[in-house]
Amino acid sequence: MPSPSTARRAIRTIAAFEAAKGLVVLLAATGLLSLVHADLGALAARLVRYSHLNPASHYPQILIDAASHLQTPRLVWLALGAIAYSLLRLVEAWGLYRERAWAEWLAAGGGAIYVPIELAEVLHKPTALGLGVMAANVAVVTVMVMALRARRAAQAR
């Protein structure tokens, strides 16, 4: 069992990581909302040309077609979903930093949901990135479970 200061440091590190994820997704949502009234097909075509890709080739054409058919309501729903996810991550980060049990449960459960998916991906196509993400997620779940067990043991005394 790690010392209380080591456990606190690990939880605060996880809190910082969750806050960073929340902020990145919030920025992405803001970017999506800024595109609501833009001509996404033309924007995708400019991006393809700027990247020096052939707009007539298969994959760039898929991007251009998908962007052209993305409707404003769908874009707004994507942005709202991203904002909701971002708020969840930021609230979780605040709770972890403030050492709240509900946040530890949220982090443990939220991380555990992804482990089977990540495991299936690593078994299907092992990559260093996939292994790293899975290992980090398992570490987060482990730290949270240990924190919850320590909390329960302290309450039993």
pLDDT tens, residue by residue, 73-120 = 888 888 899 999 999 999 999 999 999 999 999 999 999 999 999 999
CB within 8 Å of 132: residues ≥ 6 apart: none
The pTM (predicted TM-score) of the whole model is: 0.77
Q: Is 125 helix (H, G, I), strand (E, B) or coil?
A: coil
Residue 6 has pLDDT above 70, yes or no: yes
Cα–Cα distance measured from residue 120 to residue 117, given in angstroms and rounded to the nearest whole number:
5
Predicted local confidence at residue 85, as pLDDT? 95
